[in-house]
Each structure stands twice: as structure tokens, then as C-alpha cells.
Amino acid sequence: MNIIFLGPPGAGKGTHAQKLMNELEIPQISTGDMLRQAIKAETELGILAKGFIDRGELVPDEVVIGIVKERLAQQDCQKGYILDGFPRTVPQAEALSQFAKIDCALNLSLADEVIIGRLSGRRVCLKCGATYHTSTLNGRTDCAACGDELVQRKDDTPETIQNRLTVYAAQTAPLIDYYQEKGMLRTVECTGTVEENHRAVRKALGVE
């Protein structure tokens, strides 16, 4: 199954994509994780992407389209994949349709007020992409999954979060109608606990 995860920052795309990756044994392809790893490794891509990401803006379409196209051509994507954070604009969706056959776009939906609380307490592992919230970490500063140190993303500050929400509404939300019109959209309200939301995600995908 080739799945797209849509939804505002903080709706839980990464969390549910990681769980599904383990359950369905198909890779999670997170453009955000790929870009953050490139920044950490100071590659050419990372140097280019850093300013956009830190300001909460989108990295140019041709850049992300290139990295996704290359990634989907790899062997482990042949039996399916979860696209987490891509496409984020209509031109990205149109480019994707030229080199991929998508089965379903899952729209994870959540109110802005909830998003701000979630993102401002978020801590991430740059090595494996796991995410945590300060409210449940009990002061712990290492990743329970891989042991690497947890960090606060530079774009998880109140000001940048607001900008990301504005960018989401203007550039990414139109994809909801785009996939709706193609009959590919399924929506899940992510207001419950992680477990409740995950059950709803599985149900929407028909993998109960």
C-alpha cells in the first residue's frame, strides 16, 4: 500500500507513520526527517534547506521532489511506503503523480490550539525520528528507542509554529480538496489518545 499522510504540523503524522511502518513493514518516508538529517550532516542539501526550515517556510518544490523521487526508486519501497510530510503543495502532488501510484491520502485533522501545546513541548530524536512530549518524559533527555539525545527543534518555538500553521493553511490544506476530488481522501480526527487515534488511522486504511 502506498499511503500519503496529510495534516497540520503536530497532528501526529510522524507518530502514526512510525507505528504503521512497524506494523505493515513498509518504510516511513519523512521529508522533514531527511532534511533534518541533511542539516545535521551539513550536506549541500542541508545547507540549502536550513534557512527555510528554521523560519517555518517550505523548502522549494524542486528540491523535495528530487529527494522523494530518488528515495521511492529504492528497493525497500517496492512493496509499499508511507509518505509523511510530502506532498505539501499542489505542484508537489502533481509531480508525485508522475512517478508514483498512490492508494490513499490520509488526512489527520486537529485544531490549532491543540497543535501549539503539542509542538511547544515536543522533543525529537534526530537519529531515528522518534518524537516525545515533555509532559511524559519525566526529565529524561535520551531517546527510549535508540539512546541518542533528544533535542527541541528550532522551528518548534511559538513564533515559528504560528508561521508553519499559516504556511500549512495557505499551501498544504488545498491538498485536502485535491485528493478529495480524486476520491483518494480519508480523514481521521486526532483528538483522542495516541492509541485511540492510531486505531482510527488503521480503520481508515482498512488494516484493522
Number of H helices, E strands in the chain: 10, 8
Nearest to 20 by CA among 202, 204, 208: 202
Contact flag: residue 58 with ligand ADP (CB under 6 A): yes
DSSP state of 152: -
Mask 9-28, x = binds ligand ADP (CB under 6 A)? xx--x---------------
* Residue 35 interacts with ligand ADP (CB under 6 A): yes or no: yes
Are the C-beta atoms of 65 and 172 separated by less than 8 Å?
no
Phi, psi of 9 (to 5 degrees): -55, 140
Contact, 59 vs 35, CB < 8 A? yes
Residue (10 or 27) nearer to ligand ADP, CB: 10
Q: What letter does residue 187 receive in the DSSP assignment?
A: E
The contact mask relative to ligand ADP for 67-106 (x = CB under 6 A, - = no) is ------------------xx-x---x--------------
Angle of CA points 98, 32, 50, to nearest 5°: 110
Position 31 contacts ligand ADP (CB under 6 A): yes
123 is catalytic: no
Residue 28 C-alpha cell reads as 516511513
Cis peptide before 87 (omega within 30 of 0): yes
Q: Based on the shown chain and the rule CB under 6 A, indicate whether residue 53 belongs to the binding site for ligand ADP.
A: yes
Catalytic residue check, 153: yes
CB 40, min distance to Zn ion, A: 13
Q: Please state, in angstroms and as integers, the Cα–Cα distance from residue 112 to each residue in 21, 63, 89, 169, 208, following that order.
A: 27, 28, 20, 11, 29
Q: Is 118 a catalytic residue?
A: no
Binding partner of residue 58 among ligand ADP, Zn ion, none, CB cut-off 5 to 8 Å per kind: ligand ADP
Q: Which stretch binds Zn ion (CB under 5 A): 15-23, 64-72, 142-150, 192-200?
A: 142-150
Residues in touch with Zn ion (CB under 5 A): 125, 127-128, 130, 143, 145-146, 148
Residues in touch with ligand ADP (CB under 6 A): 9-10, 13, 31-32, 35, 52-53, 56-59, 64, 85-86, 88, 92, 155, 164
Q: Annotated active-site positions, please?
A: 13, 88, 122, 153, 164
